[in-house]
Amino acid sequence: MALYTRVSGSVGMITLQNPPVNALSAAVRQGIVDMMDKALGDPKVKSVVICGQNGRFCGGADIREFSGNMTGPPLVPMIHSMESAAKPVVAAIEGIALGGGLELALGCHYRIAHSKARLGLPEVQLGLLPAAGGSQRLPRLIGVPAALELITTGRHVTAAEALQLGIVDEVTEQNAVDAAVKFALRVADASLDARRISTFPCPRPPATDAFFERAMQQVRQNARGAVAPVACVQAVRAAATLPYAQGMEREKELMATLFTSGQARAQQHCFFAQRAVNRWSMPNGARWDTSKPRPVRKAMVIGLGTMGRGITVALAQAGLSVVALETTEKQLMEAKQAVSGMLERTAKRRAVAPGFDKVRYSRDMRLAADVDLVIEAVFEDMPLKKKIFQQLSSVCKPGTLLCTNTSGLDIDQLASQTRNPELVVGMHFFAPAHVMKLLEVVYGPRSSPTAVATAMQLGKQMGKVSVAVGNCRGFVGNRMLKPYLEQAFFLLEEGATPELVDGALEEFGFAMGVFRMSDLSGLDVAWRIRKADELAVTDAPAGQSTARSRQGRRYSPLGDLLCEQGRFGQKTGLGWYRYDEPAGRVAKPDPWIQDFLERYRAQHALVARRMDHQEVLERCLYSLINEGFRILEDGIAAGPEDIDVIYVLGYGWPRHRGGPMFYAGMVGLARVLERLEHFHREHPDVPGLQPSNLLRKLVASGSPPVHRWKEVIKKLHSQL
Ligand code: 3H9
């Protein structure tokens, strides 16, 4: 809806009303058309101001409408007739002007923004392009290079940057609507000839063809198979090379292709999934989000390795006081230097104060007496963690939340070391912890709703997307990773190379294939855990040190054998690849690995065979997805959206493929089931390939779309 009033005698004011972000739904568009007619037809009105209610201009087209039949007046002619109006129209931008919201503002003759407003064309992140004239007007207003960057990345800009770029005419610290009304009174009689952006010539960049070829090459490289950024370049190229009307035709054509694409659906699924995880509830229906989180002002981080340092920075940046704890003076000083550097760099990027004074470095555990929350981030050593939790339990004041950053150990075992097990939760960060958006908040059987709510709230304060998950080995993300990694090893045994497996996964859209990723994170971490679990080669019976079976199931000792050679990945310069130097970044195929694999196959009488990318993808991804179904079955994740968010934000799953569970739906659940059955027949000693009950149930229920899986899961739980 849109509300119309007349203010200051001669200014017609149109207020968009569609909470919470005033998205341009059919009713809002109809309202704008009607109210513009009213304003233009009223002889007392000399100029018009358009604004949004509740301090938010407009969040763009109503994304919820994309999945149904679009009704109501279309945006393009609506904006065009606004631009053609004979009376000046001023946009009063408060809060946000995003996507169609900014396009609406670009159709106005003037734009006044509040200093705290953010503007942008984020359509590319939804698998779309700004198709209400944005791709044609923005380059005409601010030039091709700047517009291209904003449109292909979807980046939001502050009001100050928008002013500098020339997107807005004025920035105000006062109420932007009042400022726009004053401005509208001032320009009531001014000529509009030079104010209609669609009539501006588009400045062509020098050597236009070469400029766009370079831009396209760069965008393709970063897009990892996403098509929307490519279409964005094509649309901006049309703006630079064609007259406006033809450019608009091109924009429409490109949008038509994107609009119905699977990628757009996938990216919009991610958008809604990311918001759905905030309404966290347990599979049994118990809700945490109705519990009041406790205030957290002071925190302690124990263990200042890579994770602890990142967590310290994230907490300090969120405005908390942090006590950073290490055991030796040397470790403490090294950590202090590293944390200060990280604080300085991020502060510079965000143009804020570094907050060095927020962090106090200490070796004294007794300081835990004074904090509201502790995050333990020592290495994955259960006895050590248990000892720390025992100490904390006796030092901390009542009510202090005790969190662990373990990436997969049992939260309940740690809780049982404390006097208040209800105050223990997992806060599983992803490296680098001050950068990565994802946080798994892990609740044990005894964690209280308040404890979970507090951890979730703290995550939000740190700018993370927090997903509440149940307690099991590896939680959601790492539990699903295990069968995926396992398949990658089996593929090597059967004849693949690390390059082949990584090539297939990177072509699919992962930022990094499994072997490059393992090299980056360090092979020794998982090896030490396997050793502790008596799974690694050194624990196998003498003479069978490379046995391919553990506890009755297939096991590949390849990773252990590599670690036995001291090849721990990038940090040692050697892993699944060779690096120019220790900590070097460029992965090069290593002939040593070829020999090593050949020797290994010979030792186990394995005959190498050729395999293609399709097989690599099916084996790795379907086994990961299958574990995702088991996780849903076990009630560890509340829904498929939670798993998808974890994979997209924490594990580099390509956003344009919507997350593993959405992807399974796109491939077709029946197809995933059929391929898993096939692979399981071929590899009966690999339980990860045995299709889960839930997958079978979903297929038997006619493969409903992902947002309806919860009904089937509920039924499955009620039958148990
Ligand atoms: C477009 O404009 C296409 C055109 O170029 C061409 C067309 C021809 N529609 O994020 P929040 C909901 S494409 C519908 O938690 P925040 C959201 O789902 C659009 N709903 O709040 C959530 O609902 P719920 C281009 C929307 O304050 C609630 O609002 N625009 C829309 O953290 C609150 O959202 C964009 O891509 C929408 N457009 O952040 C902007 N936007 O409560 C997308 C939000 O049921 N939106 N909702 O979970 C955003 O980036 C953020 O929501 C925003 C607010 C920054 C606006």
Q: Which of the 8 DSSP states describes residue 203?
A: P
Strand order of the sheet with strand 465-470?
359-362, 321-325, 298-302, 373-376, 401-404, 424-429, 438-443, 465-470
Asked if residue 717 has pLDDT above 90, the reply is no
Q: What is the pLDDT of residues 83-126, one digit of tens each?
A: 999 999 999 999 999 999 999 999 999 999 999 999 999 999 99
Q: How far apart, in whole angstroms, are the C-alpha atoms of residue 494 and residue 479?
A: 24
Fold entry, domain 496-603: N-(1-d-carboxylethyl)-l-norvaline Dehydrogenase; domain 2 (1.10.1040)
Average pLDDT over residues 417-424: 96
> Encoding tokens for residue 195?
């104010």
Strand order of the sheet with strand 47-52?
2-7, 11-16, 47-52, 89-93, 110-114, 170-172
Q: Is the CB of 107 under 6 A from ligand 1?
A: no
pTM for the full model? Answer: 0.94
Ligand 1 atom nearest to 74, measured from its CA: 8
Q: Is the CB of 103 under 6 A from ligand 1?
A: yes
Per-residue pLDDT, 583:
73
For residues 637 and 661, is the Cβ–Cβ distance under 8 A?
Answer: no
Q: Is the CB of 283 under 6 A from ligand 1?
A: no
Q: How far apart, in whole angstroms, are the C-alpha atoms of residue 319 and residue 317?
A: 5
> Encoding tokens for residue 442?
């892990």
Task: Locate CATH 3.40.50.720 in the chain.
Answer: 291-475
Distance in Å, CA 135 to ligand 1 centroid: 19
Per-residue pLDDT, 544:
45
Q: What is the pLDDT of residues 428-460, one digit of tens each?
A: 999 999 999 999 999 999 999 999 999 999 999
Q: Is the CB of 23 under 6 A from ligand 1?
A: yes
What is the band of 287 on the pLDDT scale with cuts at 50, 70, 90? low
> Encoding tokens for residue 629?
């179904």
Q: Is 7 helix (H, G, I), strand (E, B) or coil?
A: strand
Ligand 1 atom nearest to 271, measured from its CA: 18
Q: Is the CB of 100 under 6 A from ligand 1?
A: yes
> Encoding tokens for residue 613?
């990318």
For residues 563 and 533, is the Cβ–Cβ distance under 8 A?
Answer: no
Asked if residue 652 has pLDDT above 90, the reply is yes
Higher pLDDT, 405 or 292: 405
* Cα radius of gyration rounded to whole Å, the chain: 28
What is the band of 288 on the pLDDT scale with cuts at 50, 70, 90? low
What is the band of 487 on the pLDDT scale with cuts at 50, 70, 90? very high
Q: How far apart, in whole angstroms, are the C-alpha atoms of residue 176 and residue 181?
A: 9
Distance in Å, CA 54 to ligand 1 centroid: 15
Does the structural domain 291-475 have CATH classification 3.40.50.720?
yes
Task: Locate CATH 3.90.226.10 in the chain.
Answer: 2-200
What is the band of 545 on the pLDDT scale with cuts at 50, 70, 90? very low
Q: What is the pLDDT of residues 395-416, one digit of tens each?
A: 999 999 999 999 999 999 999 9
Angle between helices 100-107 and 134-142 (to 10 degrees): 60
What is the band of 543 on the pLDDT scale with cuts at 50, 70, 90? very low
Distance in Å, CA 141 to ligand 1 centroid: 25
For residues 469 and 643, is the Cβ–Cβ distance under 8 A?
Answer: no
Asked if residue 145 has pLDDT above 50, the reply is yes
Name the E strands within 73-159: 89-93, 96-98, 110-114, 118-120, 157-158
Q: Is the CB of 669 under 6 A from ligand 1?
A: no
Angle between helices 669-682 and 660-667 (to 10 degrees): 100
Asked if residue 285 has pLDDT above 70, the reply is no
Q: How far apart, in whole angstroms, are the C-alpha atoms of residue 468 and residue 480?
A: 16
What is the band of 10 on the pLDDT scale with cuts at 50, 70, 90? very high
Q: Following CA atoms 162, 167, 168, 173 in sequence, which dihedral angle do they give, to the nearest 10 degrees? A: -10
Residue nearest to atom 11 of ligand 1 (CA): 275
Q: Is the CB of 273 under 6 A from ligand 1?
A: no
What is the band of 42 on the pLDDT scale with cuts at 50, 70, 90? very high
Distance in Å, CA 21 to ligand 1 centroid: 7
Ligand 1 atom nearest to 154, measured from its CA: 36
Asked if residue 706 has pLDDT above 60, the reply is yes
Asked if residue 681 has pLDDT above 90, the reply is yes
For residues 443 and 470, is the Cβ–Cβ distance under 8 A?
Answer: yes
How far from each other are the two terminal CA atoms of the chain, in whole angstroms?
47
What is the band of 525 on the pLDDT scale with cuts at 50, 70, 90? confident
Average pLDDT over residues 51-74: 94
Fold entry, domain 2-200: 2-enoyl-CoA Hydratase; Chain A, domain 1 (3.90.226)
Distance in Å, CA 268 to ligand 1 centroid: 10
Q: Is 462 helix (H, G, I), strand (E, B) or coil?
A: coil
Q: What is the pLDDT of residues 500-518, one digit of tens each?
A: 999 999 999 998 999 999 9
Q: Which of the 8 DSSP states describes residue 64?
A: G
Ligand 1 pocket test, pick from 24, 53, 57, 63 with the greatest ligand atom count within 8 Å of Cβ, gives 63
Average pLDDT over residues 308-314: 97
Residue nearest to atom 56 of ligand 1 (CA): 59
**In terms of Cα–Cα distance, which of 698, 685, 567, 679 is closest to 628?**
698
Average pLDDT over residues 418-428: 96
Average pLDDT over residues 663-669: 98
Q: What is the CATH number of domain 613-719?
A: 1.10.1040.10
- Mean pLDDT (the chain, rounded): 94
Per-residue pLDDT, 135:
98
Distance in Å, CA 62 to ligand 1 centroid: 7
Question: pLDDT > 90: what percent of the chain?
Answer: 86
Q: Is the CB of 75 under 6 A from ligand 1?
A: yes
Q: Helix and strand tally (H, E) in the chain?
A: 28, 19
Q: What is the pLDDT of residues 214-226, one digit of tens each?
A: 999 999 999 999 9
CA angle 78, 82, 86 (to 5 degrees): 145
Task: Locate CATH 1.10.1040.10 in the chain.
Answer: 496-603, 613-719
Residue nearest to atom 50 of ligand 1 (CA): 59
Q: What is the pLDDT of residues 348-385, one digit of tens each?
A: 888 788 889 999 999 999 999 999 999 999 988 899 99
What is the band of 542 on the pLDDT scale with cuts at 50, 70, 90? very low
Amino acid identity, position 23:
A
Q: Tell me how crowded residue 352 is: count the other CB atoms within 10 A of its CB.
A: 10
Ligand 1 atom nearest to 276, measured from its CA: 48
Ligand 1 atom nearest to 125, measured from its CA: 36
Asked if residue 283 has pLDDT above 70, the reply is no
Q: Which of the 8 DSSP states describes residue 388?
A: H
Ligand 1 pocket test, pick from 18, 21, 32 with the greatest ligand atom count within 8 Å of Cβ, gives 21
Asked if residue 539 has pLDDT above 60, the reply is no
Asked if residue 332 has pLDDT above 50, the reply is yes
Of the given ranges (27-31, 276-280, 570-574), which has the lowest mean pLDDT? Answer: 276-280
What is the band of 280 on the pLDDT scale with cuts at 50, 70, 90? low
Q: How far apart, in whole angstroms, are the C-alpha atoms of residue 715 and residue 272?
A: 24
Q: What is the pLDDT of residues 178-224, one digit of tens each?
A: 999 999 999 999 999 999 999 999 999 999 999 999 999 999 999 99
Residues acting as catalytic residues: 103, 123
Residue that is written with structure tokens 């929350």 in the block: 373
Q: What are the beta bridge partners of residue 2?
A: 16
Distance in Å, CA 271 to ligand 1 centroid: 8
- CA dihedral sign, ordered 701, 706, 711, 715: positive
Per-residue pLDDT, 540:
47
